[in-house]
Structure 1
Amino acid sequence: MERSADVPAFKGLRESDLEESFARSSGPGGQNVNKVATAVTLRHRPSGLSVTVQDSRSQGMNRKLARARLAAMLENHEHMLRAARKSEREKARRRASPRPRALKRRILERKRKRSLLKKLRGTVGE
């Protein structure tokens, strides 16, 4: 669908990636919402994310709101993907690195102390 002058472009949203459909809104609005297809469903084809807006009585305002919400959803989606990739890289880095010598020494020292503590719990021998 062509971008009309009343619907602003949002960062990260290309009109060619969007699929827009209209339906009749529910809720308040009287005769207007019963007659006019004011609800807007906007789908971003590459990501599959979609948003439906029926907040306003006017289709134009709902189109603007839908684009703004979809842009925010895409930004959040990208942020989550970047965070997941970063987390995976960190996990792989930690798995690949061996334990430092000092850490091994501390672990063994704690085990010795714990073992001694458990031995002291035993019954007193003769």
Structure 2
Amino acid sequence: MPFPLDSASMGTTGGHGATQDPRDHATAPTSVGGALVVTRSITVPPSALRWRFSRSSGPGGQGVNTTDSRVELLVRLDEVDSLTEQQLARIHAALSHRMIERTLVIVAAEHRSQLRNRQAARDRAVDLLRRALTTPAPQKRKARKPSRAAKQRRLEAKKRRGQTKSLRRRPDL
């Protein structure tokens, strides 16, 4: 046999080109599409974005086991200079279930291609950050049934007003 059949020469998958070693899919500072523009004043620089790729479940036919189409976008909010502490606190309060420390994690695996999943993750990140940063509209007051004491006060005030007005009339002769 001219070529030895060990894991070093074949990779970790048996020689089919795709690796399963998670270190091969380490977080890479890939700047797909550049910075994320959240608002006019808030832009997430490419240096604050980290991408991770892995195999996605779902449709894909034969290629589903070989392509790394699932995308994780990690947005390190500490590296976004345009965010104030107040804005960071608001983002953390609204998106704490999607955060690990001060890093926002967005996963996209709905498309078969990695490029479309990257774009979906970018769009989702911008949408989530915009929603977290907008102040909620004040809630309208719910109409409630007046309490018994409030009804009593209203009736007493009406009686006092009526007495005051009756004193302004001409006396009957």
Question: Displacement of 1:2 after TM fit?
Answer: 3.2
**1:13-44 Cα deviation digits (max 9, x unpaired):** 32122221111000010121211111001122
Instruction: Give me the CA root mean square deviation.
Output: 3.0
Matched residue, 2:65: 34
Q: Give the 3-state SS of the residue equivalent to 1:49 in structure 2.
A: strand
Question: Displacement of 1:3 after TM fit?
Answer: 1.6
Map 1:6-25; keep pairs closer than 5 Å.
7=33, 9-11=35-37, 12-25=43-56
Tell me the distance in 2 between the aligned counterparts of 1:112 and 1:56. 64
Note the residue ranges of structure 1 that are not aligned, 5 or more in a row.
Answer: 88-107, 115-126
Matched residue, 1:62: 117
Matched residue, 1:50: 105
**1:72-93 Cα deviation digits (max 9, x unpaired):** 11111111xx348xx6xxxxxx
How high is the sequence identity, in percent, across the aligned residues?
33
TM (norm. structure 1) is 0.58
**1:67-117 Cα deviation digits (max 9, x unpaired):** 0111111111111xx348xx6xxxxxxxxxxxxxxxxxxxx9962736xxx
Tell me the distance in 2 between the aligned counterparts of 1:62 and 1:37. 10
Mark the CA change 1:8 to 1:16 in structure 2 (over 3 Å): closer, same or farther.
Answer: closer
Tell me the distance in 2 between the aligned counterparts of 1:61 and 1:13. 20
Question: Displacement of 1:50 after TM fit?
Answer: 2.0
Question: Displacement of 1:10 after TM fit?
Answer: 3.0
Mark the CA change 1:77 to 1:112 in structure 2 (over 3 Å): closer, same or farther.
Answer: closer
Q: Answer whether contact 1:13 1:71 (CA < 8 A) is retained.
A: no
Give 1 or 2 for the bigger CA radius of gyration: 2
Matched length: 90
